[in-house]
């Protein structure tokens, strides 16, 4: 469960989290200058605000991971998904810290 205003504990990614990642993949590739053949959400944290902020760990092949900061607006506000930031060159063990 998420605490209002704070980020949740780290959880295993779900189909819904993968769907969010897929929606911002082109933008992620543009920001990193890389094309990812592998792009699998593995872990995430969420923060409930006027919508939801997500920090998502994505496996992009070999020992390479990236962290995504994604905002999803409330359905009543259109439900848009927005990429807020990308951290490249992460590892499997790097903690998910809001950025």
For 54-91, write each residue's pLDDT tens digit: 999 999 999 999 999 999 999 888 899 999 999 999 99
Predicted confidence (pLDDT) per residue in 30-51, tens digit: 999 999 999 999 999 999 888 9
User: Domain extents for the chain?
Assistant: 11-90
Q: Are the CB atoms for 83 and 29 separated by under 8 Å?
A: no
- CATH class of domain segment(s) 11-90: alpha beta
Model confidence band, residue 2 (pLDDT cutoffs 50, 70, 90): very low
Cβ contacts of 39 within 8 Å, gap of 6 or more: 21, 22, 25, 58, 59, 60
Q: pTM of the prediction?
A: 0.90
Overall average pLDDT of the 4-20 stretch: 91
CA distance 82 to 53: 10
């Amino acid at each position: 469960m998420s605490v209002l205003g704070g980020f949740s504990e780290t959880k295993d990614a779900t189909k819904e989290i993968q769907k969010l990642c897929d929606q911002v993949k082109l933008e992620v590739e543009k920001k990193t200058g890389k094309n990812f053949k592998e792009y699998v959400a593995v872990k995430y944290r969420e923060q409930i605000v006027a919508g939801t902020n997500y920090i998502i760990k994505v496996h992009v092949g070999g020992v390479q991971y990236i962290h995504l900061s994604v905002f999803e607006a409330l359905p009543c506000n259109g439900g848009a998904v927005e990429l807020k930031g990308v951290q490249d060159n992460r590892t499997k063990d790097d903690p998910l810290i809001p950025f």
